[in-house]
């Protein structure tokens, strides 16, 4: 795979290689992609946990009727009742 970076990011990678932080540009980019993957996986886990918690709340009777929630949203954003 060949990668083309914008000039500012290429300069950043080169600076990290020159500083000794990474042995090569490929190593720096690999670390960056790993970090991106970790962030994506953590975000997905947070979303799934939120869904799980919401479903658990609904099963336990801690939910609110949809009509009430939508009415609150309409009031908050000054929307007409038929919006």
Indicate whether this model's pTM tops 0.85: no
pLDDT digits (tens, 9 = 90+) for 5-44: 999 999 999 999 999 999 999 999 999 999 999 999 999 9
Could you tell me if residue 7 is inside a domain?
no
- Domain total of the chain: 1
Query: Coil, helix or strand for 21?
Result: coil
Residues 6 or more apart in contact with residue 3 via CB below 8 angstroms: 29
Could you tell me if residue 18 is inside a domain?
no
Range of the domain at 52: 23-76
Could you tell me if residue 57 is inside a domain?
yes
Residue 13 CB neighbours (<10 A): 21
CA distances from 10 to 5, 16, 60 (A): 6, 10, 53
| CA contacts within 13 A on the Cβ side of 22 | 15
């Amino acid at each position: 795979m060949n990668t083309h970076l914008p000039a500012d990011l290429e300069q950043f990678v080169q600076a990290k290689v020159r500083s000794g932080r990474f042995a090569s540009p490929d190593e720096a980019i690999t670390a960056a992609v790993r970090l991106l993957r970790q962030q994506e996986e953590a975000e997905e886990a947070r979303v799934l946990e939120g869904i799980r918690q919401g479903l658990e709340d609904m099963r336990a009777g801690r939910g609110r009727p949809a009509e009430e929630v939508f009415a609150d949203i309409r009031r908050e954003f000054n929307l007409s009742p038929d919006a």
